[in-house]
Structure 1
């Protein structure tokens, strides 16, 4: 679990017992800001109510995001606002899932966020530390550990401000930039452009996948649990605790002893199967239609509401028309079409 790794790493570093090979940031670019952040994070992690979503549960929660995508585009509201106001299960919550498995599930089901990807995007573990102890705003910190990499401190966190009535305002979100991680990037030779790109990407990923923890919270308070099955499991084993006592690792002894593993039940599994069958039917139906006549598409940028920007290289699109087969012909661009209509009296349509 990423949760256990963070507890061990941050506790060891603050006690002066972490190894440089495992904790590059702490040993290469130490700072007061970094120490204060890790003290905060360790305290919050120890107090957090912990949820671990298996790969099917994370994918199931993510399908709800796909379901509200159309409503988001029509209303121009954040997806979190459409989901509604939800009370956290505790003042501090940790929600963890496998980002690699989630990326594969998105790609397989043809999620809109993978429309221009040629392979699954996602790697390693991802965890959300959601802290609601401040009455004025909610702090959301996303941690990740890509496969084959060491844990790196997040470069920024999101601060969701509250309205006068106490409700969270997802259109009023500030960024809490980690000065220590910016300094670390400078020290290892990253350009300002690269550091800014990493910050932007982290902010976008944090905001987009925040929907998954909140979908979980919504299901936890639904009468039938929304088709999920929470099961309590031990976080730190008896051996872990015994070793912690022997070597004075108080940070482990002060952490939560158990967490809830979230899996899906028959109801959710049936929903996933039905949805996949429907999407496959729609894809097959689209494939049977004749596409546009083959033409050249110039290189351009495609921008998403989430902030993601994809550079689409120049390419041919469409297909050569088969003999005696009607084809759909691409018309001129809307801006190239000018219609001049005579003025019409609304009271006399004739």
Structure 2
């Protein structure tokens, strides 16, 4: 791409992105932490689908941990988790959707808007510059307005697509797909920020780790990789704790039970039927003695809630209340 479609716009984008990445506070979510945050998204999305309210607004006004942040997770593992748990976003999919690592560069240095750039390789392809970035505008009092989001289209990427022969219809489709993907998964980094501000961290465990080893730093100095030397020396890896793990286990047990009950179609869980009379149209009357009916529940089914229930997941995060709309 660089050799085929170099331009000043491309040079500017790469320079600005690299400068922002060097300043960014880095958060890496493991697959369990990303899935845990996504279950909160499912619950809120289903609850507010009828009102048309953006799920992001339910988190309230989030305090970002730094002026520039980078949040990364495994998009392929998240896609498999969504498909296995029957998330509503996968209802029309024949299999898991997603591949590679997905990263959000969240830049809060402009007072008028929050700039969000998502980097993610398309399936079976290498990572490329994003075709657009999201600009979340601010209200007059400085709050983020999730109903006022615009796109900043990349001129260099559009020129690149035209140069390799893509029709306008394909370019528009790629732009739309990127916009939808970026907007949907944006909930994950903001849920992470909300949990980091929560008194009990919402069930997650942030662990500081060294970004580059001493050997990697030595190699970077040897070959003049200034961009590597200028990056942050450490980052936070986000994992889930016992509370969140218990919640995920309870959800899995519930899904397995519901799946088995739907597949078997053999009636209710075993229970007692009292003695009664059964009357037929012919006039025949039969006395049915008391008996057990149904089937025994699976032995592995949770008999008590080990984590937050679906209708109470949010309370476990201690999120700020949703601000009133301006």
**TM-based fold match above 0.5:** yes
Q: What is the RMSD of the two structures over their aligned residues, measured on CA atoms? A: 1.4
Deviations 1:95-141 (A, max 9, x none): 00000000000000000000111100001110000011111100000
Kept in 1, the 8 Å contact 2:98–2:123? The answer is no
Structure 2 partner of 1:99: 75
1:79-100 Cα offsets, whole Å, 9 max, x none, are 1011211010101110000000
The residue correspondences of 1:123-272 to structure 2 (distance < 5 A) are 123-146=99-122, 149-272=125-248
5+ residue gaps, structure 2, are: 267-326
The residue that corresponds to 1:90 in the other structure is 66
Q: Work out whether residues 56 and 263 of structure 1, in 8 Å CA contact, stay in contact via their aligned partners in 2.
A: yes
Asked if 1:56 is matched to 2:35, the reply is no
Would the aligned equivalents of 2:113 and 2:135 in 1 still touch at CA under 8 Å?
yes
Helix, strand or coil at the partner of 1:74:
coil
1:40 aligns with 2:16: yes
Preserved contact between residue 129 and residue 140 of structure 1 (Cα < 8 Å): yes
Instruction: Please say if residues 109 and 279 of structure 1, whose CA atoms lie closer than 8 Å, have aligned partners that are also in contact.
Output: yes
Which of 250, 258, 267 is the equivalent residue of 1:274? Answer: 250
Q: Distance in 2 between matches of 1:279 and 1:243?
A: 49
Displacement after TM superposition at 1:289 (Å): 5.4
Report the alpha carbon displacement of residue 234 of structure 1 after superposing the two structures with TM: 1.4
**Whole-Å separation in 1 of the counterparts to 2:38 and 2:22:** 27
Q: Is the 8 A contact 2:23 2:232 kept in 1?
A: yes
Return the offset for 1:46.
Answer: 0.4
Q: Secondary structure at the match of 1:75?
A: coil
Matches of 1:237 and 1:216, distance apart in 2: 26
Which consecutive unaligned segments of at least 5 residues does structure 1 have? 1-24, 291-350
Q: For residues 161 and 48 of structure 2, what CA distance do their matches in structure 1 show? A: 35
Structure ranking higher on relative contact order (CA contacts 8 Å, 6+ apart) = 2
Are the aligned partners of 1:125 and 1:146 in contact in 2 as well (CA < 8 Å)?
A: no
**Which piece of structure 1 moves more, 273-282 or 50-59?**
273-282
Kept after mapping to 2: 8 A contact 1:99/1:125: yes
- Asked if structure 2 preserves the Cα contact closer than 8 Å seen for 1:230 and 1:260, the reply is yes
1-structure distance, mates of 2:212, 2:81: 29
Q: Residue by residue, what CA displacement relative to the aligned partner does 1:28-64 show, whole Å, maximum 9, x if unpaired?
A: 1001111111111011000000000011111111110
Distance 1:99 1:289 in 2: 35
Question: Matches of 2:44 and 2:35 in 1, distance apart?
Answer: 15
CA distance in 2, matches of 1:151, 1:116: 26
Shift of 1:247: 1.7
